[in-house]
Structure 1
Amino acid sequence: MTSHAELRSSYVAESLLFCNQLLTHWRRGPAVTIQAVFLPTFLLIMYQLLVGESILRITGADSIYGLVPTCAVAGAMFGALAAGMTIPVERDSGLLSQMWLLPVRRGSALTGRLLAEAVRTVVATALITAVGIGMGLRFEGNLLALIAFLLVPSVVVVIFSMAIVAIATRSKRGTVLVWFVVPAISLVFASSGAPPIEMLPTWMQPLVRLQPMSATISAMRALAEGGPVLEAVLVGTLWAVGLVAVVAPLAISGYRAAAESGR
């Protein structure tokens, strides 16, 4: 029994194994890549070409500093939706149950999925940011600010993916996810990215400022412009902690129930 325990790999190694398996699967299928990279990049280019000059003329601020964070976060959520659509299929085909029976720690599969989402998002954010730099985005902050800029969407997508798992493991069809994702992504575009909050109707401004995506986009924008970032980070952190406290238990219990269903 002792020798068997010694042969077992660590929780981190097992999670990395599941993470690599998912990343390999996503590379071979175009759906996740298209929604996570190409769709937000297309939106970035089109939005900047269509309204970038108008916003610069009206506000005096370059919209690219808000558009890149907006499209990066939206791309992360689009990619999580594409990945999450496979969960009901994996549950109904018995794949989740088979993975549950493997001689690994029970939580490593779910951790590996969340880690894969984070890694995918970092890569996608870097590519979208590179396009933004080609369109005029300039980082006034230091290297640490750039690293933080690339990591913020990963934090968002991990929390969002927990919600996806919580819903997908309990729903019979993936269409339920679409109804959840539409308002969630709408919050991204109804944030402080573009247009500026000051241009919105007076009654709408407090609602936009207080919603979680505004703090996220504002933090990324401040990191790029080299401005004050503490307030946005604190608000975003409070939202993140609160949302994790709600969705993490639901994701864990839903994944466990789906895996133990034996279907």
Structure 2
Amino acid sequence: MTALLVPGPPRTPVERLRWAVADGWTVARRDLIHWLRNPAVIAYQLLWPIMMVLMFGYVFGSAMVVAGGGDYREFLMPGMFAQTMMFGVATTITVVSTDADRGVTDRFRSMPMSPSAVVLGRSMADLANSVLELGILVGCGLLAGWSWHQGPVRALAAVGLLLLLRFALTWVGILVGLSIKPEAAAAAWAPLFPLTMVANTFVSPEQMPGWLGAIATWNPLSATVAACRELFGNPGMGGDSWAAQHPILLAVAWPVALVLVFLPLSVRRYRRLDH
């Protein structure tokens, strides 16, 4: 009889990191394959942002005024990019909750793999999906008349900030998905709408009532949107508040803070699923 030798767990930090990334990529590939085998889900995820651009850009856009002047669709598109990144959290919550409820997550936990591989793989898969969604939305924006005006380097920096926001919000979605049932996860869209509306996504905070404008100015989503408008060279920048004057700094600080809080909480929750 031949015995199978299972390698022991890595001991050094570098070996543990390599182990986590390798196992995480294996899980990410599994998640991406499942996504590709659901054409209805792909169509919905990719068509939704396009419909939003058409609705807000052409149906409501004719009645919208940009503070300080400028084309509304140029103002709108950075907000649509960031809103799409935030709406992706609902998909994260639903998939993570469904896997946990069906026992898939428990099956992974019984394998000799990195303890953080499942949540890390989920974040990798979601980031890959977001790159595709963002690429389609950028193409839709270009057809609608939007463009960037500060050169390709600053435009890529704006895209990087959008993906950083999505990466940070993924860990919020993983924690919530591990904590609720699929029935509750189906309603994850509900709280996302006010979070994206009470921001500078569609109108400038200066055009809102004072108390609501203050909330919108400090919304983490507003920081990313304002930073993208600045980097793309689109209208809608400005404001007297500290947050309005330092959007790029906040667009980095908010996601980093979210990752520092929710990444360890997500890993801890994953390890304590039986408790």
TM-score normalised by the chain length of structure 2:
0.81
| Kept in 1: contact 2:66–2:203 (CA 8 A) | no
Partner of 2:104: 95
Q: Does 1:175 align with 2:178?
A: no
Partner of 1:193: 201
Partner of 2:35: 26
Higher helix share: 1
Between 1:249-258 and 1:214-223, the stretch displaced more is 249-258
Aligned residue pair count: 259
| Kept in 2: contact 1:141–1:223 (CA 8 A) | yes
**Aligned mate of 2:215, from 199, 204, 207:** 207
- Displacement of 1:209 after TM fit? 0.9
- Displacement of 1:189 after TM fit? 2.6
| Kept in 1: contact 2:28–2:121 (CA 8 A) | yes
Please give the per-residue CA displacement for 1:79-109, whole angstroms capped at 9, x wherever unaligned.
3312421323322322111112223212122
Partner of 1:4: 7
**Aligned mate of 1:237, from 234, 238, 252:** 252
Gaps of 5+ in 2: 239-243
Question: Percentage identity across aligned positions?
Answer: 20
- Displacement of 1:161 after TM fit? 1.9
Between 1:232-241 and 1:120-129, the stretch displaced more is 232-241
TM-score normalised by the chain length of structure 1:
0.85
Cα 1:66–1:207 change in 2 (3 A) is: same
Please give the per-residue CA displacement for 1:188-228, whole angstroms capped at 9, x wherever unaligned.
23222322222222332222111111101111111111789
Secondary structure at the counterpart of residue 74 of structure 2: helix
Partner of 1:254: 269
**Aligned mate of 1:111, from 117, 120, 136:** 120
CA distance in 2, matches of 1:214, 1:152: 12
CA distance in 2, matches of 1:174, 1:156: 26
| Kept in 2: contact 1:165–1:254 (CA 8 A) | no
| Kept in 1: contact 2:27–2:121 (CA 8 A) | yes
Alignment of 1:160-171 (within 5 A): 160-171=169-180
